[in-house]
Amino acid sequence: MKEFEKLEFESERLILKRVHHTLHGEELNPVILDTIDTLEPWLYWAKRGITVEETSLYLRRVSEKPEDYGFRLYLKSQTDCHNNNTVDHPLIGICGIIKQQDGYELSYWLHKGYTGKGYISEAVKFIMDFAVDTLKVKRFTIITQVFNKPSVKLAKKLGFESTGFEFWDVSSRWPQFADEIQVAVFLKEFT
Protein backbone atom coordinates (compact mmCIF):
# COMPACT_ATOMS: atom_id res chain seq x y z
CA MET A 1 0.00 0.00 0.00
CA LYS A 2 1.24 3.48 -0.86
CA GLU A 3 2.58 5.39 2.18
CA PHE A 4 1.25 8.79 3.21
CA GLU A 5 3.37 11.38 1.39
CA LYS A 6 3.79 14.65 3.27
CA LEU A 7 3.27 17.68 1.04
CA GLU A 8 3.61 21.37 1.80
CA PHE A 9 2.98 24.30 -0.54
CA GLU A 10 2.73 28.07 -0.34
CA SER A 11 0.22 30.14 -2.26
CA GLU A 12 0.09 33.94 -2.16
CA ARG A 13 -1.27 34.22 1.40
CA LEU A 14 -1.50 30.62 2.61
CA ILE A 15 0.62 27.68 3.65
CA LEU A 16 -1.01 24.39 2.62
CA LYS A 17 0.04 21.23 4.48
CA ARG A 18 -1.36 17.82 3.62
CA VAL A 19 -3.71 16.41 6.24
CA HIS A 20 -3.95 12.83 7.50
CA HIS A 21 -6.66 11.39 9.72
CA THR A 22 -4.23 9.55 12.00
CA LEU A 23 -2.05 12.62 12.57
CA HIS A 24 -4.07 15.81 12.67
CA GLY A 25 -7.36 15.26 14.50
CA GLU A 26 -6.06 16.76 17.71
CA GLU A 27 -4.80 19.92 16.02
CA LEU A 28 -7.99 20.52 14.04
CA ASN A 29 -10.55 19.71 16.72
CA PRO A 30 -10.32 23.04 18.66
CA VAL A 31 -10.56 25.04 15.40
CA ILE A 32 -13.72 23.12 14.43
CA LEU A 33 -15.25 23.49 17.91
CA ASP A 34 -14.61 27.25 17.79
CA THR A 35 -16.58 27.64 14.54
CA ILE A 36 -19.07 24.80 14.89
CA ASP A 37 -22.07 27.15 14.55
CA THR A 38 -21.07 28.07 10.98
CA LEU A 39 -20.17 24.51 9.92
CA GLU A 40 -23.09 22.61 11.47
CA PRO A 41 -25.80 23.75 9.00
CA TRP A 42 -23.86 22.52 5.98
CA LEU A 43 -21.52 19.67 6.87
CA TYR A 44 -22.89 16.32 8.03
CA TRP A 45 -19.90 15.54 10.28
CA ALA A 46 -19.92 18.91 12.07
CA LYS A 47 -21.85 18.55 15.28
CA ARG A 48 -21.68 20.38 18.57
CA GLY A 49 -19.19 18.86 20.99
CA ILE A 50 -17.35 16.97 18.24
CA THR A 51 -14.50 14.99 19.83
CA VAL A 52 -10.94 14.48 18.65
CA GLU A 53 -11.85 10.91 17.61
CA GLU A 54 -14.84 12.16 15.61
CA THR A 55 -12.65 14.82 14.01
CA SER A 56 -10.22 12.08 12.92
CA LEU A 57 -13.15 10.11 11.50
CA TYR A 58 -14.21 13.14 9.45
CA LEU A 59 -10.62 13.58 8.26
CA ARG A 60 -10.72 10.08 6.80
CA ARG A 61 -12.99 11.57 4.15
CA VAL A 62 -10.20 13.78 2.83
CA SER A 63 -7.23 11.53 3.52
CA GLU A 64 -8.18 7.88 3.66
CA LYS A 65 -7.04 6.96 0.15
CA PRO A 66 -3.49 7.83 -0.95
CA GLU A 67 -5.13 9.51 -3.98
CA ASP A 68 -6.99 11.98 -1.70
CA TYR A 69 -5.32 15.30 -1.13
CA GLY A 70 -6.70 17.29 1.80
CA PHE A 71 -4.74 20.25 3.07
CA ARG A 72 -4.65 22.14 6.34
CA LEU A 73 -4.67 25.86 5.58
CA TYR A 74 -2.48 28.21 7.59
CA LEU A 75 -2.11 31.95 7.17
CA LYS A 76 1.33 33.14 6.13
CA SER A 77 0.68 36.32 8.10
CA GLN A 78 1.42 35.85 11.76
CA THR A 79 -1.46 37.83 13.19
CA ASP A 80 -4.61 35.99 14.13
CA CYS A 81 -7.10 38.53 12.81
CA HIS A 82 -9.99 36.76 14.53
CA ASN A 83 -9.21 37.88 18.07
CA ASN A 84 -6.08 40.01 17.58
CA ASN A 85 -3.92 37.49 19.36
CA THR A 86 -0.51 37.06 17.92
CA VAL A 87 -0.44 33.45 16.80
CA ASP A 88 2.19 32.02 14.52
CA HIS A 89 0.51 31.11 11.25
CA PRO A 90 -3.01 30.32 12.53
CA LEU A 91 -4.75 27.22 11.21
CA ILE A 92 -7.89 28.50 9.48
CA GLY A 93 -9.53 25.55 7.72
CA ILE A 94 -9.32 22.64 5.33
CA CYS A 95 -9.46 22.40 1.57
CA GLY A 96 -8.94 19.30 -0.51
CA ILE A 97 -9.83 17.00 -3.33
CA ILE A 98 -11.35 13.56 -2.84
CA LYS A 99 -10.97 10.87 -5.48
CA GLN A 100 -14.21 9.76 -7.10
CA GLN A 101 -14.83 7.31 -9.93
CA ASP A 102 -14.65 9.96 -12.61
CA GLY A 103 -12.49 12.75 -11.24
CA TYR A 104 -12.19 14.58 -7.93
CA GLU A 105 -14.69 16.24 -5.61
CA LEU A 106 -13.70 19.44 -3.83
CA SER A 107 -14.23 19.85 -0.12
CA TYR A 108 -13.62 22.97 1.97
CA TRP A 109 -14.44 24.93 5.10
CA LEU A 110 -13.01 27.92 6.92
CA HIS A 111 -13.09 29.15 10.49
CA LYS A 112 -15.68 31.95 10.69
CA GLY A 113 -13.02 34.53 11.59
CA TYR A 114 -11.44 34.18 8.17
CA THR A 115 -14.31 34.06 5.67
CA GLY A 116 -14.97 36.89 3.22
CA LYS A 117 -11.28 37.38 2.43
CA GLY A 118 -10.88 35.11 -0.57
CA TYR A 119 -8.80 32.48 1.25
CA ILE A 120 -10.84 29.50 0.07
CA SER A 121 -10.89 30.77 -3.52
CA GLU A 122 -7.10 31.02 -3.31
CA ALA A 123 -6.77 27.50 -1.85
CA VAL A 124 -9.18 25.88 -4.33
CA LYS A 125 -7.42 27.49 -7.30
CA PHE A 126 -4.02 26.39 -5.99
CA ILE A 127 -5.12 22.79 -5.35
CA MET A 128 -6.87 22.53 -8.73
CA ASP A 129 -3.70 23.77 -10.47
CA PHE A 130 -1.68 21.15 -8.54
CA ALA A 131 -4.18 18.45 -9.48
CA VAL A 132 -4.28 19.39 -13.17
CA ASP A 133 -0.51 19.83 -13.53
CA THR A 134 0.79 17.03 -11.32
CA LEU A 135 -1.99 14.46 -11.08
CA LYS A 136 -3.35 15.13 -14.59
CA VAL A 137 -6.89 15.48 -13.23
CA LYS A 138 -9.41 16.64 -15.82
CA ARG A 139 -12.72 16.68 -13.94
CA PHE A 140 -13.73 18.36 -10.66
CA THR A 141 -17.09 18.49 -8.92
CA ILE A 142 -18.49 20.57 -6.10
CA ILE A 143 -21.59 19.27 -4.33
CA THR A 144 -23.21 21.77 -2.02
CA GLN A 145 -26.57 22.36 -0.39
CA VAL A 146 -28.51 24.76 -2.58
CA PHE A 147 -29.08 27.26 0.24
CA ASN A 148 -25.37 27.45 1.06
CA LYS A 149 -24.92 30.81 -0.63
CA PRO A 150 -21.16 31.32 -0.02
CA SER A 151 -20.41 27.84 -1.37
CA VAL A 152 -22.65 28.22 -4.43
CA LYS A 153 -21.11 31.66 -5.07
CA LEU A 154 -17.61 30.18 -4.83
CA ALA A 155 -18.42 27.41 -7.34
CA LYS A 156 -19.79 29.92 -9.85
CA LYS A 157 -16.93 32.36 -9.32
CA LEU A 158 -14.42 29.60 -10.06
CA GLY A 159 -16.13 28.82 -13.36
CA PHE A 160 -17.98 25.65 -12.36
CA GLU A 161 -21.17 24.90 -14.33
CA SER A 162 -24.30 23.70 -12.56
CA THR A 163 -25.33 20.25 -13.79
CA GLY A 164 -28.55 20.13 -11.80
CA PHE A 165 -30.00 19.36 -8.42
CA GLU A 166 -30.50 16.23 -6.36
CA PHE A 167 -32.59 15.44 -3.31
CA TRP A 168 -30.85 13.30 -0.73
CA ASP A 169 -32.74 11.47 1.99
CA VAL A 170 -30.25 11.82 4.82
CA SER A 171 -32.17 11.78 8.10
CA SER A 172 -31.20 8.23 8.99
CA ARG A 173 -27.49 8.93 8.45
CA TRP A 174 -27.28 12.59 9.41
CA PRO A 175 -29.99 13.24 12.02
CA GLN A 176 -29.25 16.96 12.33
CA PHE A 177 -30.71 17.53 8.86
CA ALA A 178 -34.32 17.42 7.72
CA ASP A 179 -35.49 14.24 5.95
CA GLU A 180 -34.35 15.57 2.62
CA ILE A 181 -31.69 18.04 1.66
CA GLN A 182 -31.41 19.57 -1.78
CA VAL A 183 -27.92 19.69 -3.23
CA ALA A 184 -26.56 21.37 -6.34
CA VAL A 185 -23.89 19.60 -8.37
CA PHE A 186 -21.27 21.74 -10.10
CA LEU A 187 -18.75 20.54 -12.65
CA LYS A 188 -15.53 21.91 -14.14
CA GLU A 189 -13.66 20.02 -16.83
CA PHE A 190 -10.23 20.59 -18.34
CA THR A 191 -9.30 19.34 -21.79
Ligand X SMILES: CC(C)(COP(=O)(O)OP(=O)(O)OC[C@H]1O[C@@H](n2cnc3c(N)ncnc32)[C@H](O)[C@@H]1OP(=O)(O)O)[C@@H](O)C(=O)NCCC(=O)NCCS
Give exposure, 68-86, as e/b (b: 16+ Cβ within 10 Å).
bbbbbbbbeeeebeeeeee
What track of x and - describes contact with ligand X for positions 21 through 50 (by CB under 6 A)?
A: -----------------xx--xx-------
Q: Is 128 in the site for ligand X (CB under 6 A)?
A: no
Q: Is 162 in the site for ligand X (CB under 6 A)?
A: no
Q: Is 150 in the site for ligand X (CB under 6 A)?
A: yes
Q: Is 11 in the site for ligand X (CB under 6 A)?
A: no
Residue 66 or 118 with smaller CB distance to ligand X: 118
CA gap 70, 133 in Å, rounded: 17
Q: Most distant CA pair in the chain: distance in Å? A: 45
* C-alpha pair distances (Å), 157 with each of 68, 85, 102, 132, 151: 24, 32, 23, 19, 10
Q: Whole-number minimum distance, CB 183 to ligand X, in Å? A: 8
Q: Is 109 in the site for ligand X (CB under 6 A)?
A: yes
164: left (phi over 0), alpha (psi -120 to 50) or beta: left
Q: Is 154 in the site for ligand X (CB under 6 A)?
A: yes
Among 55, 63, 141, 151, binds ligand X (CB under 6 A): 151
Q: Is 120 in the site for ligand X (CB under 6 A)?
A: yes
> Using CA atoms in the order 147, 143, 36, 65, what is the torsion angle rounded to 10 degrees?
180
Q: Whole-number minimum distance, CB 1 to ligand X, in Å? A: 29
**Footprint of ligand X (CB under 6 A):** 38-39, 42-43, 108-110, 115-121, 144, 148, 150-151, 153-154
